[in-house]
Amino acid sequence: MTTPTLRPYQLQAVAEIRQAYQARHRSVLFVLPTGGGKTVLFSHITRETAARGNRVCILVHRAELLRQASASLDALDVPHGLIAANRSMDLSRPVQVASVQTLARRLHHIPPDFFNLLVIDEAHHSNAGTWARVLEHCRAARVLGVTATPIRCDGRGLGEWYSAMVLGPTPAELTEAGFLAPARVLAPPIGFDTSGLRRRMGDFDMSQAGQALQAGQAMGDCLSHYRRYLDGQTAIAFCCSVAHAEAVADLFQRNGVAAASIDGRMGPANREYLLAELGAGRLKVLTSCSLIGEGVDVVSVAGCILLRPTQSVSLHLQMIGRCLRPQPGKQAVILDHVGNILRLGHHLEEREWTLEGTPKKDREKAPSVKVCPQCFAAMPSARQTCPDCGHQFTPERRELQHVEGELVEVQRREAKREQGQAQTVEDLIAIGKRRGMKNPRGWARHVMAARQAKGQWRKVA
């Protein structure tokens, strides 16, 4: 039997989740960035819970996630049943992996107190009606929701379903510890305007976006930027539609870069072949409009090319996460041609998750990212020097004299960031003096005391 060694932060998460249940929370939400190993973590919790004589159901909303969870349980030697369309149920197994749609249709077969624990994968979806039916039916069960982005697409939080939240490490911390690859993030000026795009189901209209991108500057740009920053290396290009993905693959192919597109209509053998070719480096660029939706466990690639504009933080971070699997000496390259990073933020940006969600007034606010005008590197807006090319940004004080609102907010955030980066009392005193405080020493002591009271201290990316 294989016993996985959980990483230190995963062990800590298991302990914190247990504490939350001991504190009488029935529903706990666990947040872990893409690539942090959430499937391994909940599989481990499932095994431990079942070993104590409990019945556990892992709920997923896509066939691929069902396969992924099932494979992860197999790796831990946890026998389990599957609840999915066109299959008969075997409820004698104490562990089940269920498609939420199928389970919701079969709830009349399942006593309300049957399951002791429900694990909800990709829990940011759990507001939808189907999930609600299952959660309300299994009233006796504890609930563990797992997600990288505990936020609904409308910016609301998940407090309706969860009363406690356990936060795993941030993407910056995972990167620092070597569990995610460091990345160069480049956001060249975009050649099309997302403000003209229609909205559908809470995101941009993909067929319209796909057409605009195929007609515009992004086509040429993605080839030239690939050549410049990733030449000869493997990459995934995220596209808007099957036609768009095929056009991009064709463009690379015609210009001597081995490329192919992959989509949901393809048979599994074909898809696995293309992914293996990409993994072996014989295929350089794989284009797709559905790779995230498919939940395919993608091989390690050197970069990702963002050609799919989105308004979903969750999708944004998942796309970038696809190229962050670490390897010795690897520095991933992220090429954003659609403005996602400026719209939704750098993947290392520290995000303040709460069960209440993003306050309404903050939802429309731009993230604190800026792009170097020389080399297009994206970085936290507090940086004075571009880490890639050394470009010096001019101080922004002048601009702030004549602008209110948005820029003032940016300024405040920068001030907070500067303060956050100060490690010692002396650093803080220096900031206090620079800001012309009457009593910088007293202020610095106050800030340090507040930090200690908070008990945790996270580094700014």
Number of chain residues interacting with Zn ion (CB under 5 A)? 8
C-beta neighbour count of 392 within 10 angstroms: 9
Of the residues 172, 186, 307, 372, which one makes contact with Zn ion according to CB under 5 A: 372
Residue 406 beta carbon to Zn ion: minimum distance, rounded to whole angstroms: 24
With CB under 5 A as the contact rule, the residue among 330, 343, 391, 417 that binds Zn ion is 391
Indicate whether 429 belongs to the interface with Zn ion (CB under 5 A): no
326 vs 286: CA distance, rounded Å: 19
Distances from the Cα of 212 to the Cαs of 203, 311, 361, in angstroms? 16, 17, 31
The residue from 140, 276, 389, 403 that contacts Zn ion (CB under 5 A) is 389
* 285-314 binders of Zn ion (CB under 5 A): none
Q: Which residues 6+ apart lie within 8 Å of 64 measured at CB?
A: 294, 295, 296
396 binds Zn ion (CB under 5 A): no
H or E, element range at 332 = strand 332-336
Minimum CB distance to Zn ion smaller for 246 or for 388 = 388
Alpha helix segments (H runs only) across 6-148: 8-22, 38-51, 63-75, 100-105, 129-137
Stated as kind and residue range, the H or E segment containing 186 is strand 183-186
Instruction: Give bridge partners of residue 146 from the DSSP assignment.
Output: 30, 121
Give me the least distance between CB of 390 and Zn ion, in Å please.
Answer: 7
Cα separations in angstroms, 84 against 38, 54, 81:
22, 21, 10
Task: Name which position in 388, 396, 409, 414 contacts Zn ion (CB under 5 A).
Answer: 388
Our finding on whether 375 is near Zn ion (CB under 5 A) is: yes
With respect to Zn ion, which residue has the nearer C-beta, 65 or 183?
183
Binding mask 315-354 for Zn ion (x = CB under 5 A): ----------------------------------------
- Measured CA to CA in angstroms, residue 54 lies from 73, 104, 206 at distances of 16, 21, 44
Which run of H or of E encompasses 181? none
Q: Which helix (H) or strand (E) holds 418?
A: helix 406-421
Cβ of residue 322: shortest distance to Zn ion, in angstroms? 25
Q: Helix (H, G, I), strand (E, B), or coil: what is residue 229? A: helix
Closest CB to Zn ion among residues 59, 186 = 186
Residue 228 or 365 having the CB closest to Zn ion: 228
Give least dist CB 235 to Zn ion, A. 21
| Nearest approach, Cβ of residue 185 and Zn ion (Å) | 11
Site string for Zn ion, 208-247 (x = CB under 5 A): ----------------------------------------
Which residue ranges make up the site for Zn ion (CB under 5 A)?
372, 374-375, 377, 386, 388-389, 391
